[in-house]
Structure 1
Amino acid sequence: MKKLINVYQSANNIDVALLIARVGIATLMLTHGWPKLEMLLSDAPVQFPALFGLSATGALLLAVFAEVVCSLLILVGLGTRLAAIPLIITMLVAVFLVHGADPFAKQEPGLLYLLPYTVLLLTGSGKYSLDYLLLQKVLRSTYVRTLSIQ
């Protein structure tokens, strides 16, 4: 019972939670991005809102980049903080521009996606990620180089 009400979390628990959040949110977003990628690659005319002076195809290309490429990066934990930025921007555009005049029920999914992306921007990917593995490799090589200089 004490574990359930303990407010202090171990680093391992936080890393597991970040892994679950990353894999979950990336997988869910891919279900939105994949149809957009198929639309982009098809010969059919693009049915997508033109935003910020971009053509419909240009806006769709940016959405596909965020929802597919950045989601895949978040999924594996590579450049997680940087990959979260286009997704945050995409969700803000979806909520406030595309669905700005719609009822809250249409805005809610974008807001729900926005929350974990903001958390990942602030926290990073955690221990169970490619970011962590690459950082460890860089730190090891720097340490070895430092020892060989002395």
Structure 2
Amino acid sequence: MNASQRDEQAQNLGLLFLRVAGGLFLLWVHGLPKLLHFSEQLQLIEDPFRLGPHLTLLLAIFAEVLCPLLIVAGVLARLACLPILFVLLVALLLVHPQWSVAEGQFGWLLLILFSTVLIAGPGRLAFGARLPGVLRYA
């Protein structure tokens, strides 16, 4: 294996780690609590677009449960980043605009992480890497 192949392998391992760690972290900290405690979360969720708490919570669950699972698997990973980034931007800019960078650091770090996956893609160590054509890059 030459140096170029080692570099590519290291990049793919790095993207795998980023996808899996970030996706599972978002799922564990935000997604599963919303899914498992749906009724309680209905009382707590902010509704900045006035869609109603039920629809707002369902959209948040989509972004914080289904999308991270797709990213972890590397299937439609770039596309799956978009709802997550939207929810993060809404939370940071509309729901909690009073937060300092220190108070919102978790959200900002997730924004950086999923923006990186959006830009770089899932890498070759992804189930999506075996999909045909446009699906591979979505």
TM-score higher than 0.5 here?
yes
Show structure 2 runs of 5+ residues with no match: 1-5
TM value normalised by structure 1: 0.78
Give the conservation status (yes or no) of the 8 Å contact 1:46–1:57: no
Other structure's SS at 1:49 match: coil
Give the conservation status (yes or no) of the 8 Å contact 1:99–1:106: no
Structure 1 residues 15, 44: CA separation in 2 closer, same or farther (over 3 Å shift)? closer
Q: Distance in 2 between matches of 1:94 and 1:45?
A: 16
Residue 105 (structure 1) shift: 2.7
Instruction: Tell me the percent identity.
Output: 34
Residue equivalent to 1:90: 87
Letter in 1 for 2:21: G
1:125 to 108, 113, 122: 122
Residue 46 (structure 1) shift: 2.9
Q: Does 20-29 or 30-39 show the bigger shift?
A: 30-39
Q: How many residues align?
A: 129
TM value normalised by structure 2: 0.85
Residue 94 (structure 1) shift: 1.2
Q: Distance in 2 between matches of 1:28 and 1:118?
A: 15
Show structure 1 runs of 5+ residues with no match: 1-8, 139-150
Structure 1 residues 100, 43: CA separation in 2 closer, same or farther (over 3 Å shift)? closer
Structure 1 residues 93, 44: CA separation in 2 closer, same or farther (over 3 Å shift)? closer
Structure 1 residues 75, 52: CA separation in 2 closer, same or farther (over 3 Å shift)? same
Other structure's SS at 1:105 match: coil
Residue equivalent to 1:62: 59
Structure showing greater relative contact order (alpha-carbon pairs closer than 8 Å, 6 or more residues apart): 2
Q: CA RMSD in A?
A: 2.2
Residue equivalent to 2:34: 36
- Structure with max Cα Rg: 1
Letter in 2 for 1:38: L
Residue 106 (structure 1) shift: 2.5
